[in-house]
Structure 1
Amino acid sequence: MTAPTISRGSAAADQGFSTDDDVEAIPLRRPWRWISAVVVLALIVWFVGIIATNPNLDFTTVGAFLFDARILEGVWLTILITVISMAVSTVLAIVIAAMRLSSNPVLLSVAWFYVWAFRGTPVLVQIVLWGYLGLLFDQIRLGIPLTDVVFWSMDTNALVTPFIAGLLALTLNQAAYSSEIVRAGMMSVDEGQREAAYSLGMSPLYTFRRVLLPQAMRVIIPPMGNELISMLKNTSLLSVIAVMELYTQASVISSSNLKQVELLIVVSIWYLLMTSVLSVPQYYLERRFGRGSTRNLPPTPLQRLRAALQSRKPGPAPAPPTHAVEVIGA
């Protein structure tokens, strides 16, 4: 004799399972989150509206001078000063940090005094002092001290131009700050790394260059990226010694057409663009040197965009469900 077929769903129902007592989870309502979001959006729309409809702002002037030849020349000079000053100051910072970590009391004292002097005085004062160097020394000479023997001499104002004075001021000031960042990165490396390197016969300089510095880069990169952006913006202080960077060029233009606010908007747009571009290599450098500190690195913006696009693609059609049938035989 053959018994009738019974589906699994019917068998489960016959066993008396019920969902009447299940707890239904209801998400907590947060009305203030939406209210605050609406208020913030309303404030943003209000601010944009009063700027866009302000009759005292001439947006035509902003568009006309955004790519003006003089503005572009100032942008180029700003980037050049930033790159040179940051590159040289980073090398000096590594040397000063090594001197601060040295056991030699003379090197330690000189490095400490350098950091103390340049961090303790405003960068604007240092820029003006280098610009007025010709008032202290008529000529820069190379010879034997305390004698009349001179091998080479040159007029100070011809040698230390406003451009050179600005480079010296920004470079030497930045080296003092960056040296403390490098020193902090070195101190973050476990002392056992140094001891292991010494046990293998490595010299202190080789240990510093090949063992300590690469491991300290994970700590050094983020603040150094901020210092790079600060250096870019500090170039605007060179206007006090008539270096024709971006802000100085805009000031010269606005003094002739009396469009000060419009030219300041142009300057702000260019600074925002340059700082945004400089943030990109900083992000990838942080990822590269942070590989040893975490197992799973967060996805990059490009990877997140690719994943979002792939999630929107229609997937394969699901297979039709198959109902299992249990046959109870006699």
Structure 2
Amino acid sequence: MECVVMVVNGLNIKRSGFTVAGAIATTAAAVGLASPLALSQEAVIQIDGSSTVYPITEAVAEEFMGQNRGTQVTVGISGTGGGFARFCNGETAISNASRPIKSSEVEACSANGVEYIELPIAYDALTIVVNPDNDWVDSLSFAELKTMWEPDAQGTITNWNQVRSSFPDAPLELYAPGTDSGTFDYFTETIVGESGASRGDFTASEDDNILVQGVAQSENALGYFGLAYYEENADRLMAVPIDGGNGPVAPSAETVENESYPLARPIFIYISAEAAERPEVQAFVEFYLNNATTLVPEVGYVPLSEEIYTIAAERFQSRQVGSVFEGENTTGVSVADLLRLEGGTQQ
């Protein structure tokens, strides 16, 4: 799915509801303010990828187009894997990603001559949610999540009391991102121990709003997605504290910042090195980094430190291509330390 994020009649679209309907409603002719950057009236920036990163990039696009008349930014939601497929085929300028680029995607980009600049843009807390009518789950451990989601659970772990004996004898209804999702890759690697290793008998969607609706409609449901989608729907979902070995911790900006939440991770944008030479793309990325500390928390995520944004800006300005995160499980990773490394994994 692709939508065009626009400023309508010179006014910013309200960002507090990034639903499918809301995204479609923002598709319109761009009418912005006078452009301080004098960018081309025909400029178009195509972006696709992660639904987790989408709310941030959508917010940045709205603000950017409000200041740059005629610059059109299209933002698609095809999942991290789907976004990289288009990006490595040269179809998009920027790819949103909720995980680092995979080796197979590096090879695909290399085969097509696509070099890229990797930039972390925020922290997310992967959030496990249940229905508010669920009165038995007070927390879940990594081991219990693995019991629910590992491949051997398919067709065998079908009731809540099979996860913990004190849970009720009620059907376990599971919702999760699809296999093109970086959130799916991250969750399976962190919880199950292997990226992509999961039971298959769950309701899957690359659109997190569909997952929200599924969990909100059944007291027996459980799902997972990015923190912003929980916070946007906190009135009809309940976040589950997660025990990664040091006791249960609930997801929040505070627990991400103090590094106590065990499912916190950085999220990214990848910019085509060729596209980065276009003035509108350069201006957009610089605007993104300069305004992230304000816009990231507006849509429910956690901003990086000023130091990390400065390092990221330097990487972009110097056109440092390649990845320092490739193949890394980013749970607990020091983003600043990795970004300080020179070179990284070059193509």
What TM bracket, shorter-length normalisation? under 0.3
Question: TM-score normalized by structure 1?
Answer: 0.21
Computing the radius of gyration from Cα coordinates, the structure with the larger value is 1
**Relative contact order higher in (CA < 8 Å, ≥ 6 apart):** 1
Question: TM-score normalized by structure 2?
Answer: 0.20
Higher strand share: 2
